[in-house]
Chain A
């Protein structure tokens, strides 16, 4: 596919935002957007995992899975690579930024099954991106995810909780806000073809 890495990078952030256009990576996004600090921490973690594991999985797919004819193990292999890397990241975060470790709670191990990460990995395969394209695409997707969670956290911060009905506070109002953002992002569809 002859799309420049530069275009892919920007498209992945805006016109094809992995969260607001493809709805991948919702669970942790909804739960951790209460505070801007933890949202930022999680966003950076997800972006980091995305870039590194996409690159690793690209190499594994083209240099191991295909040559050995075991493409049917694709899902398992990809997700184990992601799990291994998240496990490693958990050890690092627990050691160096314990406050982030506690505020993330169960959502740190859940980065492993963040559909955005596996989704980007599968996208790069089916769209047949080269290694450089994959790096640009995953970097853009990671930043796109980070921006989306920051946007939600910022909106929630400004939201006067008292004005929201009791039953809607928390996850429900986040869902509505996200729904509106998603409707807005539908306007971007078709602007740039990245596949």
Chain B
């Protein structure tokens, strides 16, 4: 029977159905749990990029704001749905005044796409804080863009330097070694051995800021 023409095909089909069936069942069963965790984790990331600003205005430390999750998220953060704007955006509101915005941005890394959250000042020109949501870079190399020292480089950084420009409202940056100290504000420290990934982060920020600024020039969020 093993040598008949149909047996291999049937055998293969049975195995495919069996194993993808097991996977599909596991997937459906775990879907809800995974989603809950991912939502909570995502919201906390948003909160973390806004916590410094919120804390500044409400006289609390960022740690206190984070510790008060989910209450602090519900109190201070609201989701916006602007028309024809293809990114997720949230605003941080204290006593009916908007103090900051948080955008989800996307880009391409070396191995896959990356998603990040960037909080901006209310004039959309300064990056307040920056956090990576998702990336598929090499662990220990490109993945190090999630390390605090790399992300902190973007804190309170003026990013939109040519607001009048029609092509590019941002400027180019030069990468220096991780061990050096930036001499000008156009120098950034790259992750050692991960030039392409470090570069992808800058590319993503610049492209996305152009998209955002282009939108807010003529539209209300």
Contacts and interface: CB of A to CB of B under 8 A. Distances in A.
Direct A/B contact, Cβ within 8 angstroms: yes
Interface of A: 72-73, 76, 80, 122, 126-127, 189-190, 195
Contacts of B108: 126-127, 195
Interface of B: 16, 20, 23, 27, 108, 110-113, 136, 195-196
A126 B195 contact: no
Contact of B195 (A72, A76, A189): A189
Given A189-B195, A190-B195, A126 B20 contact: no
A155 B89 CA distance: 56
A10 B110 CA distance: 19
Contacts of B20: 73, 76
Given A126-B108, A127-B108, A195-B108, A189 B113 contact: no
A5 B113 CA distance: 22
Contacts of A73: 20, 23
Contacts of B136: 126
B111 A126 contact: yes
A126 B108 CA distance: 7
20 contacts: A72-B27, A73-B20, A73-B23, A76-B20, A76-B23, A80-B16, A122-B111, A122-B112, A126-B108, A126-B111, A126-B112, A126-B113, A126-B136, A127-B108, A189-B195, A189-B196, A190-B195, A190-B196, A195-B108, A195-B110
Across the A-B interface, the 7 shortest Cβ-Cβ residue pairs? A126-B112, A126-B113, A195-B108, A189-B195, A126-B108, A127-B108, A73-B20
A60 B195 CA distance: 33
Contacts of A72: 27
Nearest to A125: B112
Given A76-B23, A189-B196, 8 more contacts: A73-B20, A76-B20, A80-B16, A122-B112, A126-B112, A126-B136, A190-B195, A195-B110
A57 B68 CA distance: 47
Contacts of B16: 80
Contacts of A189: 195-196
A79 to B, nearest CB: 12
Contacts of A190: 195-196
Task: Name the residue in A80, A122, A190, A195 with the highest tally of chain B Cβ atoms < 10 Å from its Cβ.
Answer: A195
Contacts of A126: 108, 111-113, 136
Contacts of A80: 16
Nearest to A190: B195
A72 B108 CA distance: 19
B134 to A, nearest CB: 12
Nearest to A73: B20
Contacts of B111: 122, 126
A73 B111 CA distance: 18
A190 B112 CA distance: 18
A188 to B, nearest CB: 12
A148 B129 CA distance: 44
Nearest to B113: A126
A122 B112 CA distance: 8
A89 to B, nearest CB: 17
A116 B71 CA distance: 48
Nearest to B27: A72
Nearest to A80: B16
Query: Which of A76, A122, A126 gathers the greatest number of chain B CB atoms within 10 Å?
Result: A126
Contacts of A127: 108
Nearest to B109: A126
A98 to B, nearest CB: 21
B153 to A, nearest CB: 21
A14 B195 CA distance: 18
Contacts of B110: 195
Contacts of B196: 189-190
